Amino acid sequence: MSDWEDEYDKHGVAIEKPAPKLSATNNTCLGKDSQGDGSVYSGLKSQTWSREPNEARVERRRDAFEFRSRRGETDRGGGPGDRRRGNEMSDGFQSLTFKVENMSIGRIIGRGGAKIRELEESSGARIKITRGDYDGEVSISGSSAAQQKARGMIEDLTAGGSSTYGRGRYSDGERFGGRAGTGGMNRNDSAWSKEAPQAASDSPTSSAIDWNDIRQNRKKFEELKWKDLPPLKKNFYTEAASVSMLTPDEVAAWRKENNNIFVDDIKEEGEKRPIPNPCRTFLEAFQPYPEIMENIERVGFVKPTPIQSQAWPVLLIGEDLIAIAQTGTGKTLAYLLPGFIHMDGQPVRRAERGGPGMLVLTPTRELALQIEAECSKYSFKGYKSICVYGGGDRRGQINLVKSGVDIVIATPGRLNDLQMNDLINLRSITYLVLDEADRMLDMGFEPQILKILLDIRPDRQTVMTSATWPTGVRRLAKSYLKNPMMVYVGTLDLAAVNTVQQTLEIVKEEEKKMYVFDFIRNMQPQDKVLIFVGKKITADDLSSDMSLQGIAVQCLHGDREQSSREEALRDFKESRVRILVATDLASRGLDVHDITHVFNYDFPRNIEEYVHRVGRTGRAGRSGAAVTLLTRDNWRMAAELISILERAGQDVPEDLVLMAERYEKHKMEREMYTPRGHGWGGRGGGGRRDGNDRGQNWRF
Ligand code: AMP
């Protein structure tokens, strides 16, 4: 006789008895399932809802799936054969099993089992619930109609995302009843007999997922979703005669002279399209747009930067664009000005658009605020722009959005929040910018970006900027840009900063403070330094040390209140302080023209970040200097750093070369002496100790 049967009398009342002990053999055989809770509930035996010692629970769980007659017709035999008979006796119907989250089980059972009894009464089915590690299993027996009724009632009860009716198949119950030691406990491979899946798919009540159908529906839905939108206008370019007459050699020479700019058509199919010639003056790009010209003259720029010269004609003819450019190259203006013209030229007029026309997604609040400042500078046709970012005044941002804006500059998290709450209309957007795409991916914004993109019309014009071109960015570009052209400055993998004099010092960790204070003592009155540290606590620590010594300093990192962050930036920009200690929060987007020095107190977590940090100085045609402290812990970065320095035409210190060689040797030795197949010390394991792996204690 099974343990289960021993616990109930013929009226279904529980008989208290000590839990049976499992033998060592049983335990071994139970394997994974022996960890499970395995608590069992059935409406019939509602009094037995209990949490018992593990062994007893496991034993109980083995038997949890035996069918029991509600009205005492239980077969009282023992052994597997009897179990099978028990199942057949269930009105000739197989039981319906499905999963629910453990947290929903209470709702189905109700207080003292009242709910499950009620469910059984009204449906005429018998319900049994087994609690697992994460999900519970509901097993319903009875006629097909009764089963469906009970299932529907349970669905209603657990509505709200807690039920997981994945398979909804009928089980023959045979294997669930198997004994430990005969392989009966592993739910994954023993829940179904070989015939069960077939029976399930033949069953009229089967809920197997038809992916083809779903795909078709999705396509139809997509078509319907965008059906009523008016067509877009994308081409606004009139090539100036002076641009048309440039010969291919002249174009090639110009590109080479201008930061070796390179343009490519990365359309995947068909013939490559002709790449437009660069516009070497503002007039060549914007002659038909006097308001744009007035704005440029007002701000006093002399000529376009290389990225602007080449991006403007590509964007004005209406192509999607990927711009890989080093920091401070004028890429914001490269996408903003064509964006203004694009919005202004749409068939749907501004008043009827019903939402913003341009969206710029950007990774940090600082960058968002800066783009907005740049946007407001050009005040094209009175276009209103707003900045939407986490940490800012949410209500204020919502009110501004509602009041009607043309350009939204947003961080993905906050925009997604407004989108999910129907507080912003993204359907009106026809010009989209994914700014600093590599950084957005690094910061984990991909899911929010993808959700945002779902609501933006697919035939929009899209611009993506990135300082680097890693796999993630390529993937994003491939999925969300249509046949883009690509403009990049310098080499493809990493744009090196060549307007900055870069110096490196190999030091010990404990010497770093001495170096930084020495640097500060030697600062000239016009100098302005941005000191980068790896951790927020170091930023606090270093800036307090400086304050204690009477040095005027500000500190910027992600744990500071938004208002303090803004104040720190303002103080630094307006030169109330000439020293800013910051984490990598400030490595991008911080546009302070007169930073003369970048001081890398801690080496950044990767070489891309190094380029960004260094690019905070030497902006908009000025020169700058960067001092970087390296410790032995940073030796893994030495080789990449050498390559950056070489590409930027900088001196490479001998010590750095030696460091790279030592690391290479160490790596080879480690690989040679590490037995294969042992995780620790292998390629992946050892690297972490160098402290430069992404995400390790480096939060900003
Ligand atoms: P960005 O790379 O977009 O962050 O731009 C860096 C800085 O360069 C910004 O302050 C721009 O206002 C400035 N800038 C943009 N275009 C030009 C230009 N053609 N000439 C001089 N400065 C510019």
Q: Rounded CA gap, 391 and 562, in Å?
A: 6
**Residue 382: pLDDT over 70:** yes
pLDDT of 26 > 80? The answer is no
By alpha-carbon position, which residue is closest to atom 16 of ligand 1? 330
Q: Is the pLDDT of residue 576 over 70?
A: yes
In percent, the amount of the chain with pLDDT more than 70 equals 72
Segment 324-350 mean pLDDT? 90
> 558-563 — which CB contacts under 8 Å span 24+ positions?
558/583, 558/585, 558/699, 558/700, 562/365, 562/391, 562/392
Task: Please list, in sequence order, all residues whose beta carbon lies within 8 angstroms of the beta carbon of residue 465, skipping any fewer than 6 positions away.
Answer: 322, 323, 324, 325, 331, 335, 433, 434, 435, 436, 437
Question: How many percent of the chain have pLDDT more than 90?
Answer: 38
Question: Looking at residue 213, what is its pLDDT?
Answer: 75
241-489: CATH, from 3.40.50.300, 1.10.10.10, 3.40.640.10, 3.90.79.10: 3.40.50.300
Higher pLDDT pick, 331 / 53: 331
Mean pLDDT, to the nearest integer, of 347-365?
Answer: 92
Q: Is 556 left (phi over 0), alpha (psi -120 to 50) or beta?
A: beta
Backbone angles phi, psi at 490, to 5 degrees: 80, -155
pLDDT at residue 516 above 50?
yes
- The answer to whether 3-212 and 241-489 have equal CATH topology is no
Ordered by start, the domain boundaries in the chain are 3-212, 241-489, 500-647
Given this structure, which CATH class describes domain 3-212?
alpha beta
- What integer pLDDT is reported at residue 328 of this predicted model? 73
Ligand 1 touching residue 330 (CB < 6 A): yes
Tell me, in angstroms, the distance from the centre of ligand 1 to residue 295's CA: 14
Q: For 281-305, what is each residue's pLDDT tens digit?
A: 999 999 999 999 999 999 889 999 9
For the segment 391-406, the average pLDDT, to the nearest whole number, is 87
Ligand 1 atom with the shortest distance to the CA of 377:
12
Task: Name the pLDDT band for 208 (thresholds 50, 70, 90).
Answer: low
Which candidate, 186, 101, 160, 166, places its Cα nearest to that of 136?
A: 101
H/E element holding 146?
helix 144-158
pLDDT band at 609 (very low <50, low <70, confident <90, very high): confident
620 lines ligand 1 (CB under 6 A): yes
The distance of Cα 43 from the centroid of its chain, to the nearest Å, equals 44
Any ligand 1 atom below 6 A from CB of 285: no
Find the range with the poorest average confidence among 158-172, 215-229, 635-649.
158-172
State the pLDDT confidence band at 621, using cuts at 50, 70 and 90: low
326 lines ligand 1 (CB under 6 A): no
Q: Which DSSP string corresponds to 259-280?
A: TT-EEEE--SSSSPPPPPPPP-
Measured CA to CA, the distance from residue 536 to residue 631 in angstroms comes to: 19
CA 304 to ligand 1: nearest atom: 19
Residue 698, pLDDT above cutoff 70: no
Residue corresponding to tokens 């008016």: 230
- Measured from the CB, is residue 329 less than 6 Å from ligand 1? yes
> What's the CA-to-centroid distance between 508 and ligand 1, angstroms?
38
- The structure tokens listed for 598 are 């970048």
**How far is Cα 335 from Cα 233, in angstroms, rounded to an integer?**
17
328 CB near ligand 1 (under 6 Å): yes
Ligand 1 pocket check for 149: Cβ under 6 Å:
no
What is the number of the ligand 1 atom nearest to the C-alpha of 325? 2
CA 64 to chain centre: 42
Mean pLDDT, residues 8-34: 34
Cα angle 410-411-417, degrees, rounded to a multiple of 5 = 90
Residues 87-139 pLDDT 10s: 333 344 578 888 877 677 777 887 778 888 888 888 888 888 887 666 678 88
Q: Please write the tens of the pLDDT for every residue from 589-599.
A: 567 888 999 99
Maximum average pLDDT range among 106-120, 163-177, 383-397 = 383-397
Are 358 and 343 in contact, with CB atoms under 8 Å apart?
Answer: yes
Question: What pLDDT sits at residue 40?
Answer: 47
> What pLDDT was estimated at residue 429?
96
- 500-647 fold: Rossmann fold (3.40.50)
Distance CA 428, CA 460 (A): 10
List the beta bridge partners of residue 463.
321, 433
337: pLDDT confidence band, cut at 50, 70 and 90? Answer: very high
The single-letter code of the amino acid at 524 is Q
Per mean pLDDT, which of 25-29, 200-204, 235-239, 299-303 is the most reliable? 235-239
Instruction: Specify the residue with its C-alpha closest to ligand 1, atom 1.
Output: 330
Q: How far is the CA of 619 from the centre of ligand 1 (A)?
A: 8
